[in-house]
C-alpha cells in the first residue's frame, strides 16, 4: 500500500567509500515524499505561490542497514504514519531493486537498505513560523490517510 | 536525434536564490550521460569491475541562460560530438518541459536553460592514469557515432 | 568541553526556502567529527591506507530547531557519548555564532539550531563488514573519553 | 597577489572514484569568491537585504588537471579578471597544499588541480533580470581591481 518511487544511483550520490553517501538517502526520501504528494495533486511550488506556506523537515531518524552502489536501482517508499494540523510523520524505506552485480542471489531483491522516519511541519515561507495547514491540503492528506488505514495495509 | 533524459527539480537542487544551484546542472548532465551510455548497453560499475577503468570528467564548459525552479520538469540531452581512443566530447542541453507556472506561454516549452560541453577521459581506476578505452567500449561508441552522423541530424 | 568547528554557510548549503537544506547539517556534523578525530591525530585516509578500515555512519537522529541562512557563521560540536570496540555514538550540535542581521539581539548568539546523535561503525573498506577497531585507534578514543569524563564536563 | 581560501576535503566531497567529485570544485571556487568578496566588506545576504540584488553564475569553464582526495588540504584562489557594470569574470585555481600521503615529494606542493573561469552577473533577486550593480558595490570592486593591476601582480 506504500507509495514508491524508483530511482537510480549516479556518481553524484556516491563517496570515496564506494557507496552511496549516507546524507543522500535524505535526498532520495524527499524525492519520494515529493512525488507522493504530487500523486495526491499537491505541488509544493504552486502551493507556496497560492498559500504562502511550505513544508520544512523538523526531525529525521535513519538507520543504514546495507549500502547502495553506483548504478543500483532503488525503490523509495513513503507511508504516512500520522497527520496533524501542522505536521506530518512519514515512514520511509529505501529498497534495492536491481543489484549491479548480476551474480547476486534473487532474494537480494527488495532488500531494505535504509529505514527512516521523517517529521515535517507546515510553516509560513517568509517567517518560517509554524502554521496550520490550509484546509484543502489537510483535507487531501486526511482522505489519503483514511484510504491507507484499511485492513489490507501492512 | 539527441538522447534525452527527463527529470524533476527537487528541493535538494535549489538554492536560496529560489532557483536550481548552478553546480547541479553538472549532476543533471551526468545523469543524462549515464543513461545515454546505458542505452548503448554500457553500465559503468560493471565496466569497472570487468576492465578496471572508469570515465572521469576532464573539462566542462557551461552557459546558464535561464533558471529552473522547484517542481520544474527538465529534459537533459546528450550528443556525442567527438570520440577519440581515450576521451569523448559530449554536447548537452537542459530544456524546460513543464514550467510550474500554468500561465506560462506555450512557447516557453522546450526553452534551453543551460548548454554545456563536457570532455571525459578513460582512466585506470586505481592509478587514475589515462588509458585507451577497451575495444568493446570504443566499438560501441563508434557504431553509435556512425548512426548519429546522418543527414537528418541537427 | 566539546570539540567545536567553526564554519560558514555558503550558497551551496541553502535551498529555495532561503535556509540551509536540512540534509546538509549531516555534512556539517561530519566535518566536525573529522576535525575532532584529526585533533586526536586520527586521519581517516591514512588510517584506511594503513589498516584497510573506514568509519561508516550507521544511524542518525536529528532535530531541527531553527534555520541557518546564507553567510551565517556556525559552530558545530562533537561529543563522544559512547565508545565500543566496533562503533561510536557521538552527540552533536550546530550553533549560530554570528547572525547575518546585525540588529539581532545579543542573546541570539550561541543558539542551538540543530541537535544530532550519530552512530558510526568501523568496517573493512573492501567488504564493508563490521570489524574491531585497530588497537591504536581504540586506545586513542579511550584516552580521549577518559579525559572527557571529568566533573567539569556538561 | 591572488585572494586564497584554504579548505579541507571531506567525505561529502568525494565520489566512488575515490576522488573529489568534479562538480564540487564549483562549490570550492564559490566559497573562495564569497570570502574574497567578504574580504572587501561585501556580504551577499546583507547586500540582498539592502539592494534587492544578488550575484548569479552565468558561465563556467573548468579544466581538471589532477584529482584531490579525502583529507587533502586545498588552496582555492580568486582573481578578478574583468569587472563590468553588470558582471564580473573571475579566474580561479584549486591547489594542493598538503597531500595526505606524507611520502609525496615536496614539489607536489602548490600543484594546480583545477583551473576555472567563472562569469557572474548581478540580477534583481525577485525577477532574476540583469541589473546594474549598486554604485557602492561597483566602486568597491573597481578600487580592488586597481589595487590588483600593479606591476607586482602575476
Q: String of b and e for B3-13 (b: at least 16 CB within 10 Å)?
A: bbbebbbbbbb
Task: Enumerate residue ranges in chain D where pLDDT < 70.
Answer: 1, 98-110, 148-154
- Rounded mean pLDDT of B76-86? 95
Q: Is A145 on the interface with D (CB under 8 A)?
A: no
Find chain A residues with C-beta within 8 A of D19's C-beta: 16
Q: Which ipTM was obtained for this model?
A: 0.89
Mean pLDDT for the stretch of residues B68-94: 96
CA atoms within 13 A on the CB side of A46: 15
**Is B23 in CB contact (< 8 Å) with chain C?**
yes
C71 pLDDT band, cuts 50/70/90, is very high
pLDDT of D145: 81
In this prediction, residue B107 carries a pLDDT of 46
Count of CB pairs separated by less than 8 Å, C with D: 51
Say what the pLDDT of residue D144 is: 87
Backbone dihedral region of A9: left (phi > 0), alpha (psi from -120 to 50 degrees) or beta? Answer: beta
Per-residue pLDDT tens over the stretch B89-117: 999 999 999 655 454 444 444 599 999 99
Task: Let me know if B26 is exposed, middle or buried by CB neighbors in 10 A (0-12, 13-18, 19+).
Answer: buried
Q: Is the pLDDT of residue B123 over 80?
A: yes
Q: Is the dihedral of CA A20, A23, A27, A30 positive or negative?
A: positive
Q: Answer left, alpha or beta for residue A13, where phi above 0 means left and psi between -120 and 50 means alpha.
A: alpha
DSSP-based three-state secondary structure for C83: strand
- Report CA C63 to chain centroid distance, whole Å: 14
3-class secondary-structure state, position D124: strand
Query: CB-side exposure of C38: number of CA atoms within 13 Å?
Result: 20
C-alpha triplet A149, A4, A11: angle, nearest 5°: 155
Query: Taking CB atoms and an 8 Å cut-off, how many pairs form between chains A and C?
Result: 58
Is A20 within 8 Å of A71 (Cβ atoms)? no
Share of chain C above pLDDT 90, in %: 82
pTM: 0.92
DSSP assignment string, D24-84 = HHHHHHHHHHHHHHHHTT--HHHHHHHHSEEEEEEEEEEEE-S---TT-EEEEEEEEEEE-
Quote the pLDDT of residue D38.
96
**Residue showing cell 542505452:** B39
Residue of A nearest to C25 (CA): A23
pLDDT reported for residue B149: 62
pLDDT class of A149 with cuts at 50, 70, 90: low
Is any Cβ of chain A less than 8 angstroms from the Cβ of C58? yes
pLDDT score of B122? 97
- Cα(B71)–Cα(B48) distance, rounded to whole angstroms? 34
- Per-residue pLDDT tens digits for C3-40: 999 999 999 999 999 999 999 999 999 999 999 999 99
Half-sphere exposure of D18 (CA within 13 A, CB side): 14
Mean pLDDT score of chain A: 89
Which has the higher per-residue pLDDT, D71 or C145? D71
> How many of the other CB atoms lie within 10 Å of CB of A53?
20
DSSP code of A132?
P
Lowest-pLDDT range, B72-76, B149-153, C88-92, C98-102? B149-153
Burial class (CB in 10 A: 0-12, 13-18, 19+), C120: buried
Q: Which of C17, C68, C72 to mutate to test the interface with A (most CBs of A within 10 A)?
A: C17
User: Contacts of residue A128 in chain C, CB cutoff 8 Å?
Assistant: 17, 19, 67
The one-character DSSP state at C86 is S
Query: pLDDT value at position A49?
Result: 94
Interface test with B, best of D21, D25, D53, D60 (most B CBs within 10 A): D60
pLDDT band at A146 (very low <50, low <70, confident <90, very high): confident
- Which chains share 3+ C-beta pairs under 8 angstroms with B? A, C, D
> D128-136 contacts: CB < 8 A, separation 24 or more?
D128/B17, D128/B19, D128/B67, D128/D56, D130/D86, D130/D87, D131/D53, D131/D86, D132/D85, D132/D86, D133/D53, D133/D85, D133/D86, D134/D47, D134/D51, D134/D53
Per the prediction, chain B carries an average pLDDT of 89
* Chain center to CA of B72: 18
Cβ of C57 and A67 within 8 Å? no
How many angstroms away from the CA of D2 is the closest CA of chain A?
A: 30
CB atoms within 10 A of CB A79: 18
Helix (H, G, I), strand (E, B) or coil at A44: helix
Active site residues of B: 15
Cα–chain center distance at A23: 14
Q: Which chain B residues are Cβ-neighbours of A49 within 8 angstroms?
A: 101
Please provide residue A68's backbone torsions phi and psi, each rounded to the nearest 5 degrees. Answer: -105, 155
Q: Is A126 a catalytic residue?
A: no
The conformation of residue B68, written as its DSSP 8-state character, comes to -
A128/C58 CB distance under 8 A = no
B19 contact D CB<8A: yes
Among chain D residues, the shortest Cα distance to C13 is held by D27
| pLDDT given for residue C105 in this prediction | 47
Q: What is the CA radius of gyration of chain B?
A: 17
CA–CA separation, A90 vs A61, rounded Å?
A: 11
Instruction: Give residue A145's pLDDT band: very low, low, confident or very high (50, 70, 90).
Output: confident
On the question of pLDDT at B152 being above 70, the answer is no
d(CA B12, CA D18): 23
Q: Is D98 on the interface with C (CB under 8 A)?
A: no
Residue A148 above 90 pLDDT? no
Q: How far apart are CA B16 and CA B27, in angstroms?
A: 19
The candidate with the shortest Cα–Cα distance to C70, out of D88, D34, D40, D136, is D34
pLDDT tier for residue B147 given thresholds of 50, 70 and 90: confident
Reply yes or no on whether the pLDDT at C106 is more than 50: no
| Positions of E strands within chain C | 3-8, 53-64, 73-83, 87-98, 111-124
Contact C89, C23 (CB under 8 A): no
User: Cα(C21)–Cα(B21) distance, rounded to whole angstroms?
Assistant: 12
Chain C residues whose beta carbon lies within 8 Å of the beta carbon of residue A23: 23-24, 26-27, 30
- The pLDDT tens digits of the residues spanning C112-122 come to 999 999 999 99
Nearest-by-CA chain B residue for A24 = B12
Other CB atoms within 10 Å distance of the CB of residue B132: 12
Q: What are B4's three cell numbers?
A: 534525452
Percent of chain B with pLDDT over 70: 86
- How many residues does this entry show for chain A? 154
pLDDT-above-70 percentage for chain A:
86
Q: What CA–CA distances, in Å, run from A72 to B54, C39, D105, D145?
A: 17, 36, 39, 49
Q: Does B62 touch chain D (CB under 8 A)?
A: yes
- For chain B, helix (H) and strand (E) counts, in that order, are 3, 5
Mutate one of A60, A117, A122, A125 to test the C interface: name it (highest C CB count within 10 A): A60
Residue A152 confidence class, pLDDT cut points 50, 70, 90: very low
Copy the grid coordinates of residue D43: 556580504
Q: In this predicted model, which residue has the larger pLDDT, A110 or A24?
A: A24
Q: What is the pLDDT of residue C147?
A: 78
Q: Which helix (H) or strand (E) holds D118?
A: strand D111-124
Half-sphere exposure of C68 (CA within 13 A, CB side): 35
What dihedral angle (degrees, nearest 10) is formed by the CA atoms of B135, B137, B142, B143?
110
Q: Using an 8 Å Cβ cutoff, are C87 and A52 in contact?
A: no
Amino acid at each position: 500500500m506504500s507509495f514508491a518511487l524508483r530511482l537510480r544511483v549516479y556518481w553524484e550520490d556516491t563517496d570515496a567509500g564506494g557507496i552511496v553517501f549516507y546524507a543522500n538517502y535524505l535526498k532520495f526520501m524527499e524525492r519520494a515524499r515529493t512525488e507522493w504528494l504530487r500523486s495526491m495533486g499537491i505541488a509544493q511550488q504552486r502551493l507556496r505561490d497560492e498559500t504562502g506556506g511550505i513544508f520544512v523537515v523538523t526531525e529525521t531518524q535513519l538507520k543504514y542497514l546495507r549500502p547502495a552502489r553506483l548504478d543500483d536501482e532503488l525503490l523509495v517508499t513513503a507511508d504516512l504514519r500520522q497527520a496533524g494540523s501542522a505536521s506530518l510523520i512519514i515512514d520511509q524505506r529505501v529498497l534495492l531493486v536491481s543489484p549491479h552485480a548480476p551474480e547476486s542471489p534473487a532474494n537480494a531483491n527488495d532488500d531494505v537498505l535504509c529505514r527512516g522516519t521523517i517529521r515535517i511541519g507546515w510553516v509560513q515561507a517568509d517567517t518560517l513560523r509554524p502554521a496550520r495547514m490550509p484546509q484543502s491540503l489537510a483535507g487531501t492528506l486526511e482522505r489519503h490517510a483514511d484510504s491507507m488505514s484499511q485492513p489490507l495495509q501492512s
